[in-house]
Structure 1
Amino acid sequence: MTDTAASKTTRLPAHENTDYSVIEKASMSLGHAPSGLLLPGIDKNTEKEATRLCARDYLEHHVFFNNYRFHNHLNHHLLAVFSMGGSAKRLQEIFDGNRIIQRPTMPMHQVEINATNYTEYLAKEEHYPDYVAFFHKELDAAGDEWHAVVSKYISDPRIFPFFMSGAFHPFIQIGYGLEFESKAITATALAQACVHIPDVEESYFPAAFEEMRMNLDNGSANDVSLMQTLDMLRGERAAADIEYKESIFARENTILGSKLAAKYGKLWTVCADEKAISAKYEELLSTAALLYISTTRPGYKQVLDFFVLHCLTSAYFLPIILDVLSTEQKARTLHAHWIVTLSIYSLVGAPQLYITPEHTATNTHAVADGIYGGSANPWLDVFKDAINHNDIHVPKVIRALWRGSILSALQNKDSTEQKALPPVNWLYIARATLDTITMSSLISGSDDRNKGTRFWDKGMLGYDQFWENREKV
């Protein structure tokens, strides 16, 4: 952190690990939504420790951990591991490891944000604590009906693009707040959205959705699958003006990528019908998983892209967030999620997908027995390794794949919607993630790389230049 940044922040004294008063100070509590996933291992002690550590994060840390607006992932890591039954000791280790890089909270301003003026301070990072105070007050005032407050703000077209920006991070934070029934975490999520700089054009969401809806109404819609939209976008990318850049977020590429995403996103139809939305969600999650695992060119070691992974980890939270929305808004939110996924896909160069039989095998136990041996549940080792992994994103990836494995197992294979779903070997992808990502995000990356560990790749995977320095098998 620079001296200038430090001068604008106030480092509160770190609370002792024996100080449980932080829970009341932050009004922090943790519950669990029906759409969330939990494993045995959670007890009253781990729940108390998770609540205390989330309260400390709320009180002590800023939303971004540096001046480049890199996101604070501390409670993401904590709660993902907590949901898998991680011990109190492990939760403390995660907090201590993540805390080192965090920036302290910023001071409140004299201005009071309220329901009338809350859009006047959008995209202004310095007003994050003011937004947290405002949204926490709004949620508390709503009592047991606080989900309606969340729905109101998510549905507000003036700030909806903010929720979908920043590689889905505000969306993910909203998901955590709702999954763990925490008004405090939800307040930070709403505040986080408001201080983002939107990186998706505001008009693309409603315009693409309304054109898709109009085509549905007049009978001219062709229900193109998500895999087909990826193929179509990739075909046009070659003729588009998206140039190879070291940074995928070059402004000119972002604009072109958003236009391509809107153009092809509107071809995917989402009806405002609960059964249809459920089937479309399963298609989205399956496609996100295959996109995540299959961008590695033949002959190269496995590549897992940092930005594509957020399309998968954010998709975990869609059922949780959709639960608080109207049917119409569910359809709009699901559709918008895919448009952002297409935008990210275009920004990483719209790579060819190399889907192998290992990626799509559905008899995962047979495959696992052949590779790993034994007859026990192979997911148990996945969860154990995810709990102990020191990368902040790996446990979230595993949770998304965990959800997918359950949905796939319980699909009604006779329904028209389910027949169109691409098969996914969720276990294989989970194991590939753990075997590929071996670098810790809690210690010096350079030290880790010297030990031969591997991290997420970042870049335009669809271009030859990206692969020039990648390691071959």
Structure 2
Amino acid sequence: MATPNKVHLTVDNTGIVQFKPQTAETAAKTSELLQENHEKHHIFFNKDGFHNHIVHHLLTLYGLGAPAEIIEQRYKENVNYQRDIIQSGARPDMSDPENFKQYLDNEKYYHEYLIFWQNEMEKKGWENVLNEYVFAGDERADGLLGRFYGGFLHPIIHLGFGIEFHQPAIIAEALAQACCHQNWTGEFLLAAEKDSKSRASTSSKTIPELLDEIRANKKLSTAAEWSDPNKIRDGVIARASDEMLKYTSEWHVTPENLEQKTAEMINSCIYYTAAAQNPPKQVKIDFYFMHCVNSSIFWPTFNAQPWLSTANKVRLLQWKGYLDLAMYASRRSPPLLVSEITDYAPAKPKEADWEGVFTRLFAFEDDGHAVKLGRAVRNGELVSKAWEGKGEEVERGMKVKGDMWGKIGNMAIDSVEDSGVHWARSVGFAEAWVEYGDRSKKSQL
């Protein structure tokens, strides 16, 4: 049985994207590896806040039906650079409210926060802990909720995996990870929420429409500079916050349109991530946009939770939409070239179906970003299909359709297998493409 201290996977729950069934042997091996990671490793593998992706990687592979030997091999490739969970120095008790507040934003105390969350969950249950500490709507909860959207969405990705696979120990890791992140992202999201309510806007625009308007706004679309340490915080928010808030205020989620807007969010972040190319440069996926996609897969799971109020489901999605819009602006709002998707020719046409894509992603050696992207794109296809033919308003919000899904899946694996660095970074800047060659000279995959 899975507990706040023990990872225990079963073949009865392999997540929301089905590919191949799992075996009891693989469930046991993956549980063992995740337990080792849980007990031994810090959530950041260095003091600069680079994230430990082992949980994301292994659960994605497990959910898609990868065999035990593949999962173990991917683990071995990434375990050697992880940090020990226990750091030297004083070890405060986070059950003291003053300590809990004082040590926020400091990765040094990840282990202490982890112990706190495990103890709270043992006493109250993980659902009650989340409702009390993250979704209560008070100052403390809003501060923690905001941190879940920090670090390019890593804490909420971690939380999503814990909820999707019913693993309280991983939910505890996510909570502890959130405590170690700064809250400037949450402050922006709260400001966007407040601004939207104050404007009382009646416009009902889709994310693709707002992306076009953001690109057309020169002050906002050029606010970020290549030299900015963080292009949302130091670019968009610092130089064009009013302009950014104008557009976030025009995307509205309500209890009545929650499911439609969930599909729109998922479809739209995949659309702008895939379409942001720079021909004739090699096809590459932006590393930052990719996180918007990889996190999007969890919103259907959040919506399905009976313990979470509808108001909080609406808020979770609203904030995700705000951040997706800001992320697009922060990379200098690159032109979105739909033809880059519709005209895409897979590098390996004999392996271009989802079985071929996932098989290649299983074998790809990275820290899990690529296979997470493939699974999230497939989820986007499954979610979006339910909304095809549902009317003009729905169509305006969903640009990806038909065979574009399979082409994006191939773009994902082809681009990381191609020569050069796996990901482009900040694709709206010319500097992001300097190291990539002409696509006509790309390697033969």
Q: Aligning the two structures, in what range does the TM-score lie when normalised by the shorter sequence?
A: 0.7 to 0.9
CA pair 403-211 structure 1, distance change in 2 beyond 3 A:
same
CA distance in 2, matches of 1:179, 1:348: 30
Match of 2:378 in 1: 402
Query: For 1:194-213, what aligned pairs fall within 5 Å after superposition?
Result: 194-200=179-185, 202=187, 204-213=188-197
Q: CA deviation at 1:278?
A: 0.6
Match of 1:88 in 2: 68
Contact 2:14 2:22 in 1 (8 A): no
Q: CA deviation at 1:214?
A: 5.7
**Is structure 2 residue 31 aligned with structure 1 residue 55?**
no
Paired letter, 1:67: K
Deviations 1:115-137 (A, max 9, x none): 73433321011111011011111
Query: For 1:69-80, what aligned pairs fall within 5 Å after superposition?
Result: 69-80=49-60
CA pair 87-35 structure 1, distance change in 2 beyond 3 A:
closer
CA distance in 1, matches of 2:375, 2:302: 16
CA distance in 2, matches of 1:453, 1:301: 9
Contact 1:394 1:433 in 2 (8 A): yes
Contact 1:237 1:350 in 2 (8 A): no
CA distance in 2, matches of 1:431, 1:385: 10
Q: Report the TM-score, using the length of structure 1 for normalisation.
A: 0.82
Helix, strand or coil: the match of 1:230?
A: helix
Q: Identity, % of aligned pairs?
A: 24
Q: Which runs of 5+ in 2 are unaligned?
A: 136-140, 440-445
Match of 2:119 in 1: 137
Q: Report the TM-score, using the length of structure 2 for normalisation.
A: 0.86
- Please identify, of 430-439 and 411-420, the stretch whose mean Cα deviation from structure 2 is larger: 411-420
Deviations 1:412-470 (A, max 9, x none): 5234653332233111101111011027xxxxxxxxxxxx44411113x2234444554
Correspondence for 1:431 among 406, 410, 422: 410
Paired letter, 2:230: F
Q: CA deviation at 1:411?
A: 2.5
Deviations 1:259-286 (A, max 9, x none): 244331111111133xx11100111111
**Is structure 2 residue 167 aligned with structure 1 residue 182?**
yes
Q: Which runs of 5+ in 1 are unaligned?
A: 1-22, 362-366, 440-451
Contact 2:274 2:285 in 1 (8 A): yes
Contact 2:223 2:240 in 1 (8 A): no
Deviations 1:192-242 (A, max 9, x none): 00101234251x3234234434656xxx41111101211222222446762
Match of 2:278 in 1: 297
CA pair 269-360 structure 1, distance change in 2 beyond 3 A:
farther
Paired letter, 2:254: C
Match of 1:388 in 2: 363
Deviations 1:291-311 (A, max 9, x none): 111111232221211111001
Contact 1:257 1:344 in 2 (8 A): no
Contact 2:145 2:186 in 1 (8 A): no
Match of 2:102 in 1: 120
**Structural RMSD (CA):** 2.8
CA distance in 2, matches of 1:388, 1:137: 38
Contact 2:214 2:329 in 1 (8 A): yes
CA pair 285-99 structure 1, distance change in 2 beyond 3 A:
same
Match of 1:11 in 2: none
- Please identify, of 323-332 and 281-290, the stretch whose mean Cα deviation from structure 2 is larger: 323-332
Query: For 1:331-342, what aligned pairs fall within 5 Å after superposition?
Result: 331-342=314-325
Q: CA deviation at 1:28?
A: 2.0
Deviations 1:17-74 (A, max 9, x none): xxxxxx9994222357697223333111111111100000001111111121100001
In the alignment of these two chains, the number of paired residues is: 422
**Is structure 2 residue 423 aligned with structure 1 residue 456?**
yes
Paired letter, 1:200: T
Q: CA deviation at 1:357?
A: 7.0
